[in-house]
Amino acid sequence: MSRNADTWILTAQCPSRLGTVDVITRFLKEHRCYITEQQSFDDRHTERFFIRTEFYPQDPAFDAEAFQAAFATRAEAFEMAFELTAPGTRMPVVIMVSKADHCLNDLLYRYRIGQLPIDIRAVVSNHPDLKPLADWHDLPYYHFPITADTKTEQEAKVWQVVQETGAELVVLARYMQVLSSEMCEKLSGRAINIHHSLLPGFKGAKPYHQAYEKGVKLVGATAHYINDDLDEGPIITQGVESVSHADYSEDLVAKGRDVECITLARAVVYHVERRVFLNKRRTVVFTR
């Protein structure tokens, strides 16, 4: 799931306007930059244009600051907001968990083998259970218990960790607490959550057991940015797995865990590779 480690990434968005692709490709050609991947999308409903370009400079004296300054002049005419990401950039991340370990374990494994271009700065939990897993990976583990009466204080501690570690992304790897409106606002666009996706929907305790009783034929998972609507933030990616009459409730749980792990990891990769653009309440996602 990793991209070419030698390429730069240029992402941009602006109002729909004639010449939006040309302004980028022409500029890159003029600066002797070879495009290796490019994806774009024009949303006729929101009248917004989105583009992501990977490239490598053919000039060994490539100057990123000069490149950005020069492109800003071109982009201004299109009201274009852009970002340039250097090769090898590893996004600082804080992971939040409760007691379930499958998503954390999967992320740590992918991190350890170099499949995720991230720098995990800390693991935060409202339970002490997963500290040994973080310790094994030599990662700081913060145990902040929470009750209805201490939610404000607990979230203040979490926010302090995010700020002190310089985390640009927070991953809720089965963190089983509802974040406050204030916390959702602070983490808007930079916090990813994972949860099960079952049709019909099953809320409350043991959703997979409920699904088994109804005889569902598909289990799935949804990774999305958090917002003030529980489990209804802008969707990044979803996964699905078939089940049958021969699968018991424990089989549904096991398959659900696998789908959650893969879906969350994919969402993290898409985010850190700058493949996701917020487009009002939806997302534009340039998949591989």
Q: Which segments within the chain are labelled E, that is strand?
A: 8-15, 33-43, 48-57, 81-85, 91-97, 118-125, 141-143, 169-172, 191-197, 218-225, 235-242, 276-279, 282-285
Report the interhelical angle of 249-272 vs 207-214 (nearest 10°). 120
pLDDT in tens, 99-122: 999 999 999 999 999 999 999 999
Q: Return phi, psi of residue 154, to 5°.
A: -65, -45
Write the single-letter amino acid at 166: G
Tell me which residue of 190, 282, 279 sits closest to 234, measured CA to CA: 282
Taking 70 as the pLDDT cut, the residues of the chain under it are 1-5, 199, 231
- Tally helices (H) and strands (E) across the chain: 8, 13
Give catalytic residues, as residue numbers.
231
- Sole residue written with tokens 């244009």: 49
| Residue-level pLDDT at 1 | 40
Q: From residue 62, how far is each of 44, 58, 245, 270 by CA, in Å?
A: 36, 8, 60, 26
Tell me the three state secondary structure of residue 46.
coil
Instruction: Specify the pLDDT at position 202.
Output: 74
Q: What is the pTM of this model?
A: 0.93
pLDDT of residue 127: 97
Asked whether 62 and 71 are in contact (CB, 8 A), the reply is: no
Peptide bond into 200 cis (omega under 30): yes
What is the signed CA dihedral for 21, 270, 238, 208, rounded to 10 degrees? -170
pLDDT for the residue 288: 85
Which 3-state string (H, E, C) describes 184-231?
A: HHHCCCCEEEEEEECCCCCCCCCHHHHHHHHCCCEEEEEEEECCCCCC
Strands 48-57 and 33-43: antiparallel
Looking at the domain that runs over 91-285, which CATH code has it been given? Answer: 3.40.50.170
Q: pLDDT tens digit string along 151-197?
A: 999 999 999 999 999 999 999 999 999 999 999 999 999 999 999 88
The full set of domain ranges for the chain reads: 8-85, 91-285
Question: Domain 8-85 belongs to what topology?
Answer: Alpha-Beta Plaits (3.30.70)
Q: Residue 250 carries which DSSP code?
A: H
Position 155 scores a pLDDT of 96
State the pLDDT at residue 62: 94
Using the structure block, give the residue that is written with the tokens 């598909």. Answer: 218
Question: Half-sphere exposure of 50 toward its Cβ, with a 13 Å CA cutoff?
Answer: 15
Q: Do the domains spanning 8-85 and 91-285 agree at the CATH topology level?
A: no
